[in-house]
Amino acid sequence: MNFGRRLLALPAIAALALTACADGEEAEETAVAAVDTAPIIENARLVLPPVSGNPAAAYFDITNPGEMPLTISAVGIDGAGRTELHQSMEMDGKMMMEGMSGIDVAPGETSSLAPGGMHVMAFDLDDSVTSGSTVEMTLTFASGETMTAPVAVQGAGDER
């Protein structure tokens, strides 16, 4: 089930819980707990390359407030022809990148995609993706669920 669709269904679920339960506070806590299990995306940004035509890099923090581990298996970015999960690392004194098949987020933990570490490479950017704009990013989890979040587009020299 899509996390976004699950969030849309919560008002109806909460209303049913309130009518079925004499104690309104208890029902409200149940509805909030259900909302709190959706992953939280913060600090999402797509940094444009200094040279047009080169790939951009997306960074964000993802928190898993749930009780089950999450694995991000893919990330799509509107306006990008394709995307890849990457990990930067230093090897023999040189910075290198390698593809990743997924990013794990343990229950109660936050994983950060940041410069010099894990990130999303966005290739073949559309001309509509410009500094100061916002694009949508869709995370696909190993469970098949998806989640969409807005991403601020930054120029190459902007603060990351």
Per-residue pLDDT of the chain (160 residues; tens, 9 = 90+): 555 544 444 344 344 444 444 444 444 444 344 455 899 999 999 999 999 899 999 999 999 999 999 999 999 999 999 999 998 877 788 877 888 889 999 999 999 999 999 999 999 999 999 999 999 999 999 999 999 999 999 998 776 5
Distance from C-alpha of 110 to C-alpha of 89, rounded to nearest angstrom: 20
In a domain, 93, yes or no: yes
Helix (H, G, I), strand (E, B) or coil at 67: coil
Distance from C-alpha of 73 to C-alpha of 85, rounded to nearest angstrom: 8
Tally of domains within the chain:
2
- Same structural domain for residues 67 and 29? no
Structure tokens at 98: 């390698």
Phi, psi values for residue 3, rounded to 5°: -55, -40
- Same structural domain for residues 17 and 69? no
- What is the pTM for the complete model shown? 0.75
In a domain, 160, yes or no: no
- Same structural domain for residues 16 and 44? no
- Same structural domain for residues 103 and 78? yes
Distance from C-alpha of 67 to C-alpha of 73, rounded to nearest angstrom: 19
In a domain, 69, yes or no: yes
Distance from C-alpha of 30 to C-alpha of 38, rounded to nearest angstrom: 14
- Same structural domain for residues 11 and 48? no
- Same structural domain for residues 32 and 44? no
Q: Are strands 40-47 and 146-154 parallel, antiparallel or unpaired?
A: parallel
Reduced DSSP (H G I as helix, E B as strand, rest coil) percent helix, strand, coil of the chain, to 5 = 20, 45, 35
Task: Report the 10 Å Cβ neighbour count for 56.
Answer: 24
In a domain, 10, yes or no: yes
- Same structural domain for residues 53 and 67? yes
- Same structural domain for residues 26 and 11? yes
- Domain containing 8 equals 3-36
- Same structural domain for residues 94 and 128? yes
- Same structural domain for residues 7 and 56? no
- Same structural domain for residues 78 and 143? yes
Distance from C-alpha of 90 to C-alpha of 93, rounded to nearest angstrom: 6
